[in-house]
Amino acid sequence: MSGSGARRGKAFVISAPSGTGKTTICHKLLAQDPQLRFSVSHTTRPPRPTETSGIDYHFVDEAEFERLIASGSFLEHARYTGNLYGTSYAAVESSLDDGIDVLLEIEVQGAKLVRDARFEAVFIFLLPPSLDELDVRLRGRGTDDDAVIRKRLAEARSELSMAEVFDYAVVNDDLDTAVEQVQQIIRAERSDETDEVKARYGREGVVAEWRKGAEKG
Ligand code: 5GP
């Protein structure tokens, strides 16, 4: 394919601890960028009222998911809060072959699996302003009780400990600013002019700075 001269799409993997605002950021990125297509994952989680099969997820039962694992259909899959989630090769390859960039919104273990598989992708980690702020946001949702929130915060800490998987990190303090920063990374990666974004949003520097100022509790 590389000999054809046609541009192959790029894959962008975006992960974040639960409550960071990842889904909102991904929706905005997709709405503003026709060159970016969402990778529709498979999951065994039941659909939420607002979700449509084939658009938000391919909703399948455990037996079907296991069959897809056995047939080697997944680039990665992971269990998260009791349900299975996976990115099929089909969800990414046809877009990439068509020269369209693909956005994988997946949790951190899945991102690590994509990295370990040496799948070519740009890995972007979103951070909450601080763990205290994440606690406030999770409580503000009003959907989870105290025990669940404590579990999610513990999960967030363990996800933060896997930050080295990522190339870039962006702090979601202000939503529009975070979206703009991720767009800068995407634009730079598309044009292969990444020196500036690596200096600004390189994961190592951002996470070190974040830990200095923001990791509390
Ligand atoms: P939710 O159930 O809230 O839609 O998603 C739960 C978590 O699973 C989120 O962190 C979401 O990004 C992640 N997720 C969605 N699709 C995939 C996937 O294909 N693979 C992995 N590993 N995680 C996924």
**pLDDT tens digits for range 20-36:** 999 999 999 999 999 99
Instruction: From 39, 48, 107, 109, give the residue whose CB has the most ligand 1 atoms within 8 Å, as the site to mutate.
Output: 107
Superfamily of domain 11-39+100-213: P-loop containing nucleotide triphosphate hydrolases (3.40.50.300)
Between CA 111 and CA 86 the distance in angstroms is 11
Instruction: Answer yes or no: is the C-beta of 159 below 6 A from any ligand 1 atom.
Output: no
Instruction: Answer yes or no: is the C-beta of 26 below 6 A from any ligand 1 atom.
Output: no
pLDDT of residue 214: 63
Tell me the pLDDT of the chain (217 aa) as tens digits.
445 568 899 999 999 988 899 999 999 999 999 999 999 999 999 999 999 999 999 999 999 999 999 999 999 999 998 899 999 999 999 899 999 999 999 999 999 999 999 999 999 999 999 888 888 888 887 777 888 888 888 888 889 999 999 999 999 999 999 999 999 999 999 999 999 999 999 999 999 999 887 655 4
